[in-house]
């Protein structure tokens, strides 16, 4: 089976500092993949390379069997890769549906974009339903809670019909019920798409990750399901140091890494 996306020996050098060191991993269709690691591990740089924001100094990114490296950011979006950031980028003066409609319009020709559209298009309606905000469609985005703004940005991505969603800390600042709803949403999305989550909330990871990739110093340290990552002795040593007791919870791994 051909992977949806592959990182093949990717290296990134920022004026002598190697942010990525031969980063290699593959993402398959339908995964809810979590990318974790301490600050400075290279997680954001990896996502920047995938989306074309950063050009690798070596290695390549392969998308559905075709080389992606060197493709423009705009064309990468058109190929079906969408991204959110930790701070949601929505237009406060527009309604929820107008935000989603605007995001969907990038696939339209100039004439269709300029023409006043009547009603809600099918992609926009489907995106609103997926994020559970159909009843909030006419509400100004500026009135939404932080969690709702995160959902709206996911809806804006869905309206662009991506095959792969790259989400940067989607549950940061959310309440426990909002985190639960977000995790369920991501698994619903993964029935037809693939999701890569950069996240520090390990309780959220433990409950909703299907595959975990642990990064350390610009490379993959360990990969597998939560139990595999938790039990890996290399992960325990790097995150905890020699001679310390291995944690029972992956949350302790990241907490220990931040202390070291």
Q: How confident is the model at residue 247 (pLDDT cuts 50, 70, 90)?
A: very low
Domain endpoint, select from 109, 128, 161: 161
42 Rama sector, left if φ>0, alpha if ψ -120 to 50, beta otherwise: left
> Distance (Å, rounded) from C-alpha 22 to C-alpha 10?
5
Domain endpoint, select from 161, 181, 205: 161
> Distance (Å, rounded) from C-alpha 194 to C-alpha 164?
5
113 or 138, higher pLDDT: 138
Structurally, the chain folds into a number of domains equal to 2
Provide the domain limits for residue 186.
Answer: 1-80+162-233
Tell me, yes or no, whether 122 lies in a domain: yes
Contact 20/58 with Cβ under 8 angstroms?
Answer: no
The answer to whether residue 98 scores a pLDDT higher than 60 is yes
Q: How confident is the model at residue 115 (pLDDT cuts 50, 70, 90)?
A: very low
pLDDT confidence of residue 24: 98
| Residues 132 and 73 reside in one and the same domain | no
Contact 253/235 with Cβ under 8 angstroms?
Answer: yes
The answer to whether residue 62 scores a pLDDT higher than 90 is yes
The answer to whether residue 146 scores a pLDDT higher than 70 is yes
Tell me, yes or no, whether 99 lies in a domain: yes
Q: How confident is the model at residue 39 (pLDDT cuts 50, 70, 90)?
A: confident
pLDDT tens digits, one per residue of 198-243: 988 888 999 999 999 999 999 999 999 999 998 899 888 876 554 4
CATH of the domain at 199: 3.40.50.300
What's the start-to-end Cα distance of the chain, in Å? 40
| Residues 167 and 157 reside in one and the same domain | no
| Residues 153 and 169 reside in one and the same domain | no
| Residues 152 and 54 reside in one and the same domain | no
The answer to whether residue 110 scores a pLDDT higher than 50 is no
| Residues 76 and 169 reside in one and the same domain | yes
Tell me, yes or no, whether 33 lies in a domain: yes
> Distance (Å, rounded) from C-alpha 177 to C-alpha 108?
36
Q: Among 66, 86, 90, which Cα is nearest to 76's?
A: 66
């Amino acid at each position: 089976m051909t992977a949806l996306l592959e990182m093949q020996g990717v290296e990134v050098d920022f004026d002598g500092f190697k942010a990525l060191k031969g980063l290699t991993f593959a993402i398959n269709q339908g995964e809810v993949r979590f990318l974790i690691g301490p600050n400075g591990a290279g997680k954001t740089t990896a996502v920047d390379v995938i989306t074309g924001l950063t050009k690798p100094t070596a290695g390549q990114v392969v998308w559905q069997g075709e080389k992606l490296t060197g493709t423009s950011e705009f064309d990468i979006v058109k190929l079906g890769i969408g991204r959110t950031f930790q701070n949601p980028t929505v237009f406060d003066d527009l309604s929820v549906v107008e935000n989603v409609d605007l995001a969907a319009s990038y696939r339209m020709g100039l004439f269709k974009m300029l023409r006043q559209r009547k009603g809600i298009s099918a992609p926009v309606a489907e995106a609103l339903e997926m994020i559970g905000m159909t009843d909030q469609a006419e509400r100004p985005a500026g009135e939404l809670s932080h969690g709702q703004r995160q959902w709206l940005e996911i809806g804006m991505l869905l309206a662009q019909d991506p095959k792969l969603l790259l989400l940067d800390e989607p549950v940061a600042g959310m309440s426990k019920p909002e985190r639960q709803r977000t995790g369920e949403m991501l698994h619903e999305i993964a029935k037809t798409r693939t999701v890569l989550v950069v996240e520090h909330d390990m309780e959220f990871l433990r409950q909703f990750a299907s595959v975990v990739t642990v990064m350390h110093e610009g490379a993959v340290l360990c990969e597998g399901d939560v139990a595999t990552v938790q039990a890996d002795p290399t992960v325990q040593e790097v995150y905890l140091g020699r001679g310390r007791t291995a944690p029972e919870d992956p949350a302790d791994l990241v907490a220990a890494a931040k202390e070291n």
